[in-house]
Amino acid sequence: MTEQQYEDLSMRRQIHRLRQVAVAALQHYPFEVRRVRLLLHAYNTTFRVDTADGGRFALRINTNSLKSEANLDAEVAWLEALSRETEVVVPEPQRTRDGRLRTEVWFEPLQRKLPIVVMSWLPGRDLGEGSPDGYRALGRTAGLLHEHATVWQPPAGAAFPSHATVLFDIPNLLVTDHPLLTDESRQLFAEVLDRTQVAYDEAIETGPVIPLHADLHAANAKWLRGRLSVFDFDDAADGAPIQDLAISAYYVRPDAEAEGALLAGYQEVRPLPEAPAERFEAIVAARNLLLANEVLRMSTADMREIAPPFLANSVLRLRAFMETGVYRRDVPGVVAIGH
């Protein structure tokens, strides 16, 4: 089977093949596995693992992520440090029988090894469309992560990727002859990329540059008895603190109350990054551009299905941003598909 043939499989068949990968990976861990169930099949694929002694874990397979081994080592090392050195509740990576914080399994359909991490289970419900209290806690958590990141160093051989470019050093598919793109959309995306990259350059130049979560939003947080936990550090990268806040803001637009609570929570820990409003807005818009580029390259079946409406929504939102200087998700004509 080739990569193209894998992309053409139904979601059910993709999940079936990846569950086999999960089962093979679990042989490297000191668990007596009782059950392996799908949690999420999207950018990456995550399974819930139940063990014979009542334990629960989350197993993540990096199906679409392009992270290097050094990047993965930095991610799991930071998570382990956060769980031991801070009050932030994060999933703790579990060690294999030989003491490693990750493993990998060859996946024939994609002709490459798939990196796998097993994490401790986080109880609670997804924050989802959280309350102002939840968003305030999310902002405070961002502040705590940034405080820790200013003093923590990755171990030897581990390194985060740089988030100095809007597309995260992923090939730019937004200017190609992809069938979902038009001459108009390609031109718009190119103009937005130029504008938002200037904002990125300014943010990195003024710094500080520290490890970021880089995907901190309600879908990557859980809420239990008034306490927040955060997960999915797969996008963790070196960047400027304003980038984390802009990414979080992207997902709550146009809810001004939620965004205000988010920024207020951050200020409970540390001052907001100093930056003009137009730079912040451009970095918010950059998130849309990154996601548009991502949906064009993903192999996951359901993500390929949402690509057409997502790109159509992106054109409407980014055109409005270029005209007004403000990024909103509720512009006329968009359809509800998430993200």
| Percent over 90 (pLDDT), the chain | 82
- Asked if the model's pLDDT at residue 139 lies above 60, the reply is yes
Between 337 and 216, the higher pLDDT residue: 216
- Alpha-helical (H) ranges within the chain are 3-8, 11-26, 69-85, 132-149, 183-206, 241-252, 256-267, 277-297, 301-324
Exposure of 69 in the CB half-sphere (CA atoms within 13 A)? 7
Provide the whole-model pTM: 0.90
Between 173 and 6, the higher pLDDT residue: 173
The CA distances from residue 331 to 281, 285, 311, 315, in Å, are 15, 13, 14, 11
Residues of the chain with CATH 3.90.1200.10: 132-324
Q: How confident is the model at residue 299 (pLDDT cuts 50, 70, 90)?
A: low
Whole-angstrom Cα distance, residue 87 to residue 92?
A: 13
pLDDT at 339: 54
- Asked if the model's pLDDT at residue 121 lies above 80, the reply is yes
The pLDDT tens digits of the residues spanning 238-258 come to: 999 999 999 999 999 999 999
pLDDT at 313: 97
The three-class DSSP label of residue 45 is strand
The CA distances from residue 89 to 48, 83, 138, 221, 299, in Å, are 19, 7, 11, 10, 31
pLDDT at 64: 78
Whole-angstrom Cα distance, residue 58 to residue 51?
A: 11
Residues of the chain with CATH 3.30.200.20: 3-121
- Alpha-helical (H) ranges within 59-182 are 69-85, 132-149
The pLDDT tens digits of the residues spanning 51-64 come to: 999 999 999 998 87
The pLDDT tens digits of the residues spanning 26-39 come to: 999 999 999 999 99
The pLDDT tens digits of the residues spanning 260-280 come to: 999 999 999 999 999 999 999
Whole-angstrom Cα distance, residue 88 to residue 136?
A: 14
Q: How confident is the model at residue 4 (pLDDT cuts 50, 70, 90)?
A: low
**Is the peptide bond preceding residue 254 cis, with omega within 30 degrees of 0?**
yes
Please give the mean pLDDT across all residues of the chain. Answer: 93
pLDDT at 283: 98
Are 180 and 296 within 8 A, CB to CB? yes
- Superfamily of domain covering 3-121: Phosphorylase Kinase; domain 1 (3.30.200.20)
First to last CA, the chain: 31
Q: Which of 172-192 are b and which e, b meaning 16 or more Cβ less than 10 Å from the residue's Cβ?
A: ebbeeeeeebeeebeebbeeb
Q: In the numeric block, which tokens belong to residue 290? A: 């990154």
Whole-angstrom Cα distance, residue 82 to residue 236?
A: 13
How confident is the model over 10-14, as a mean pLDDT? Answer: 88
pLDDT at 203: 98
How confident is the model over 308-313, as a mean pLDDT? Answer: 95
| Structural domain 132-324, CATH architecture | Alpha-Beta Complex (3.90)
Tokens 């861990």, residue?
A: 29
The three-class DSSP label of residue 93 is strand
pLDDT at 112: 87
The pLDDT tens digits of the residues spanning 175-190 come to: 999 999 999 999 999 9
pLDDT at 2: 53
pLDDT at 8: 78
Whole-angstrom Cα distance, residue 73 to residue 94?
A: 13
* Kind plus residue range of the DSSP H or E element containing 106: strand 103-107
The CA distances from residue 32 to 49, 51, 54, 176, 207, in Å, are 10, 5, 10, 48, 47
